[in-house]
């Protein structure tokens, strides 16, 4: 083997080693290994190049590039648990393996993106519900905002049906709930309460009901002067004020407060 | 087409203008490719992220660009050399005339080969802030000083990942500048940019980039999903505490029905606080103390208002309000009787927002912040960078 031929082999072996270590480009890896096998049968670099040119491997690396782009995309979908999207990409990869010119026929990307968007929308709907759930179940039910939150829950519950998934299926699927960081107990309660809220059968009184105020009311009237004086002392301490929150240079720091501006109440 | 988008699209197709080509088929291919790039750029609107992601992820357009560029380069060289090749150079292997039965060396030197990257380098130099990208190109060009041997050069480029670094370093320039203009503690808003920076520091090839970039949306959504309920908890705590202080005062300072309404509100707010406290402890394994120790979550209790376009600086209520909120919260979730709560003077009181001077102070604070941020790269190059980020609107 001449020196340049050996160098060409070293180059291809370096590329193949990287592709193997990264694990996202099996088609290119195979193409480089096939080419390497052929190169090692030659005694000069010129012989290598001519043999490659006249072999089916000449276009193999280029073709493998497109297949591996899809392979890496497919692997990402598998990592996320988006099996529907991964399946579409798997089929496309097989299509390209049979006929490399199919690489440039489009349409599959939109299908994959539709799957990704659906998963994303399901997750967003559950997030909206979780956010509204904590407001709806803790606010005073007579507060108009509470009703808004219940409406948000109902709207997102309905949205799930549009994504061909039931609330129960979605909330039981870790892909959509893991990010929320809810406890097991919290998730169980959320799962049980949401259908009740949607049906209008959930009651805030099931949890903490407001305490009876009659006794406190009598005492408040009896001690009005004393209690009013307490409140007045608190009011006297109160001002109006704003500051600028100055962020730190990085996430390990803390806010500093500057440019305090005050007004008397 | 958006002017910045056009500039980006130009940078991808302008490389072909540097070749003196005569082959009509190749010229037609270039024209078709340019049309395709501009058409894609048009479809992206002002979403630069969509455009660059597609062009950087080993996408079809990038693969086509690369393939076409290589063919143009060799055709250009062939034209310059009168359609072929003869050199007696002994400075290492420089290429093979594949079409000849008797292969001979062409005159493509390492320096000439690397010059195909010059237009890209000149383009990013115009930007002014893409210094990492510039350095990556310069490192690539220096390969010509290290060897005259094309194979040796390719080996260096592969081992040191010099071609990929052009992409990754340039992306780090862009996302780094955007990140610098953000509040580092505002994790949900900066999540996507942060994850992009982490990704470009980690990846080493187009395939890794494709893999990692397709995880980004879900990873970002996970970060946001964790923060949104907790931000809502923080906002609800502040809301209930503020209303509780008002109700306490209404009960004590007013007479008759207004006082009774205040007392009723206190009772309702205590019930709300207890429900919320139970929910945050049981459902989210968190507490007021946990929220107060999180800088960003606790800031949500001070009703932040952005003072700059990216929300790096915010105008907030007096930070002592956090102590008052804690004190009020402890009263609300305790079993202390309402009358005992009313009898006790608050050590810390909630300060309200400005009234009469609110607008003037907001203008003053904005001006102050404007001076501070105007030196940041993001604002110096805002027109080029604004398409790469989601702003910190709150």
Q: In chain B, which residue's Cα lies nearest the Cα of A186?
A: B283
Contact by Cβ (8 Å): A17, A54:
no
Whether residue B345 and residue A53 make contact (CB cut-off 8 A), yes or no, is no
Mean pLDDT of all residues in B15-35: 79
Q: Which residues of B touch A24 (CB under 8 A)?
A: 205, 207-208, 210-211
Higher pLDDT pick, B262 / B10: B262
How many CB atoms are located within 10 Å of the residue B223 CB? 18
At residue B57, the pLDDT reads 44
pLDDT attached to residue B80: 55
pLDDT at B3: 62
Question: What's the average model confidence in pLDDT over A70-91?
Answer: 97
Q: What was the pLDDT predicted at B104?
A: 47
Strand-strand pairing, A256-264 and A239-246: antiparallel
How far apart CA B387 and CA B50 sit, in angstroms, is 9
| Lowest-pLDDT range of A8-22, A42-56, A145-159, B12-26 | B12-26
Q: Which residues of A touch B98 (CB under 8 A)?
A: 49-50, 53
Q: Which residue of A has its CA nearest to B68?
A: A62
The neighbouring-strand residues paired with B361 are none
pLDDT at B274 exceeding the cut of 80: yes
**Sheet bearing A239-246, strands edge to edge:** A256-264, A239-246, B314-317, B305-306
Interatomic CA distance for residues B60 and B39, integer angstroms: 14
The pLDDT, as a whole number, for residue B49 is: 64
ipTM of the complex in this document: 0.91
Q: Please indicate whether, in this complex, the C-beta atoms of A127 and B312 are within 8 angstroms of each other.
A: no
Shortest CA gap A133–chain B (Å): 10
Please report residues of A whose CB lies closer than 8 A to that of B337: 216
- Position B394 confidence tier, pLDDT thresholds 50, 70, 90: very low
Asked if A17 reaches chain B (Cβ–Cβ under 8 Å), the answer is no
- Does B56 have pLDDT greater than 60? no
Q: What is residue B92's predicted lDDT score, i.e. its pLDDT?
A: 45
CB burial of residue B166 (10 Å; 0-12, 13-18, 19+):
buried
Chain A residues within an 8 Å CB radius of B208? 22, 24, 72
Q: pTM for this one? A: 0.81
Evaluate whether B148 touches B105 at the Cβ level (below 8 Å): no
Tens-digit pLDDT profile for residues B204-253: 999 999 999 999 999 999 999 999 999 999 999 999 999 999 999 999 99
CB-based contact B271 A140, cutoff 8 Å: yes
Residue to test with chain B: of A216, A225, A248, A252, most B Cβ within 10 A: A216
The chain-wide mean pLDDT, for chain A, equals 92
The pLDDT of residue B105 is above 50 = no
Q: Which of A67-71, A105-109, A131-135, B364-368 has the lowest mean pLDDT?
A: A105-109
Q: Which residue's structure tokens are 């998730």?
A: A187
Predicted confidence at residue B93, as pLDDT, reads 44
**Digit-coded pLDDT (tens) for B137-176:** 999 999 999 999 999 999 999 999 999 999 999 999 999 9
Q: Does A202 touch chain B (CB under 8 A)?
A: no
Which residue in B186, B271, B346 is closest to A209 by CB distance?
B271
Residue B67 to chain A, least CA–CA distance (Å): 8
Q: Which two tokens stand for residue A87?
A: 């399946």
If you average pLDDT over every residue of chain B, what do you get?
85
Residue A259 has pLDDT above 60, yes or no: yes
Contact with chain B for residue A141, Cβ under 8 A: no
- The residue-averaged pLDDT of B320-331 equals 98
**B133 close to B169: Cβ distance less than 8 angstroms:** yes
The predicted pLDDT at position B123 comes to 86
Record the tokens describing residue A14, joined without a space: 């370096």
* Cα B253 from Cα A229, distance rounded (Å): 8
pLDDT in tens, A98-122: 887 776 677 899 999 999 999 999 9
Nearest CB partner across the interface for B217, out of A79, A120, A254: A120
- In this predicted structure, which of A188-192, B96-100, B255-259, B374-378 has the lowest mean pLDDT? B96-100
Contact assessment for residue A70 and residue A87, using Cβ atoms and an 8 Å cutoff: no
Taking only the tens place, the pLDDT of each residue in B65-91 is 766 776 676 666 556 544 433 333 334
């Amino acid at each position: 083997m001449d020196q340049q031929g050996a160098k060409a082999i070293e180059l291809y072996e370096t590329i193949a080693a990287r592709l193997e270590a990264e694990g996202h480009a099996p088609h290119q890896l195979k193409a480089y290994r096939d080419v390497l096998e052929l190169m090692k049968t030659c005694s000069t670099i010129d012989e290598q190049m001519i043999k490659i040119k006249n072999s089916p491997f000449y276009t193999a690396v280029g073709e493998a590039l497109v297949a591996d782009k899809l392979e890496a995309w497919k692997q990402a979908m598998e990592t996320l648990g988006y099996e529907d999207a991964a399946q579409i990409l798997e089929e496309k990869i097989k299509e390209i393996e049979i006929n490399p010119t199919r690489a440039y026929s489009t349409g599959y990307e939109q299908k994959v993106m539709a799957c990704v968007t659906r998963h994303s929308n399901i997750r967003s709907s559950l997030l909206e519900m979780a956010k509204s759930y904590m407001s709806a179940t803790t606010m005073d039910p007579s507060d108009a905002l509470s009703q808004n939150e219940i409406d948000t829950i109902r709207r997102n519950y309905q949205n799930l049906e549009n994504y061909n998934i039931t609330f129960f299926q979605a909330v039981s699927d870790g892909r959509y709930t893991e990010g929320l960081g809810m406890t097991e107990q919290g998730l169980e309660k959320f799962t049980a309460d949401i259908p009740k809220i949607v049906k209008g059968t959930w009651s805030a009184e099931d949890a903490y009901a407001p305490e009876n105020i009659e006794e406190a009311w009598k005492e408040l009237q009896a001690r009005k002067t004393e209690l009013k004086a307490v409140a007045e002392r608190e009011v006297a301490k109160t001002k109006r004020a704003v500051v600028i929150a100055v962020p730190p240079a990085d996430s390990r720091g803390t806010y500093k407060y500057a440019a305090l501006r005050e007004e008397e109440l | 087409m958006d002017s910045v988008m056009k500039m980006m699209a130009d940078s991808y197709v302008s490389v072909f203008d540097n070749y003196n080509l005569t082959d009509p088929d190749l010229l037609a291919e270039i024209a078709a490719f340019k049309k395709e790039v501009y058409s894609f750029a048009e479809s992206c609107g002002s979403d630069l992220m969509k455009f660059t992601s597609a062009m950087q992820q080993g996408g079809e357009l990038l693969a086509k660009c690369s393939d076409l560029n290589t063919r143009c380069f060799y055709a250009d060289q062939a034209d310059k050399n009168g359609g072929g090749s003869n050199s007696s150079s002994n400075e290492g292997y420089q290429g093979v005339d594949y079409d000849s039965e008797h292969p001979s060396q062409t005159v493509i030197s390492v320096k000439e080969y690397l010059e195909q990257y010059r237009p890209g380098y000149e383009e990013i130099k115009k930007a002014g802030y893409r210094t990492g990208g510039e350095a990556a190109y310069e490192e690539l060009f220096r390969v010509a000083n290290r060897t005259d041997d094309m194979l040796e050069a390719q080996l260096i480029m592969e081992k040191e990942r010099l071609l990929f670094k052009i992409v990754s370093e340039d992306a780090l320039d862009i996302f780094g500048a955007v990140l610098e203009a953000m509040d580092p503690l505002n994790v949900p808003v900066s999540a996507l940019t942060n994850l992009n920076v982490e990704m470009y520091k980690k990846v080493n090839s187009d395939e890794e980039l494709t893999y990692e970039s397709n995880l980004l949306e879900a990873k970002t959504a996970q970060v946001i999903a964790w923060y949104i309920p907790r931000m809502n908890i923080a906002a609800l705590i502040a809301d209930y505490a503020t209303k509780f202080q008002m109700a306490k005062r209404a009960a004590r300072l007013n007479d008759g029905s207004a006082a009774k309404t205040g007392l009723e509100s206190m009772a309702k707010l205590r019930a709300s606080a207890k429900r919320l406290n139970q929910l945050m402890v049981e459902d989210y394994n968190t507490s007021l103390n946990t929220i107060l120790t999180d800088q960003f979550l606790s800031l949500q209790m001070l009703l932040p208002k952005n003072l700059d376009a990216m929300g790096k600086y915010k105008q907030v209520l007096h930070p002592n309000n956090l102590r008052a909120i804690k004190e009020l919260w402890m009263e609300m979730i305790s079993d202390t009787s309402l009358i005992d709560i009313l009898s006790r003077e608050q050590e810390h009181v909630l300060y309200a927002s400005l009234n009469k001077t609110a607008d003037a102070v907001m203008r003053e604070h904005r001006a102050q912040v404007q001076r501070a941020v105007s030196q940041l790269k993001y604002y110096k190059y805002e027109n080029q960078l604004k398409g790469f980020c989601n702003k910190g609107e709150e």
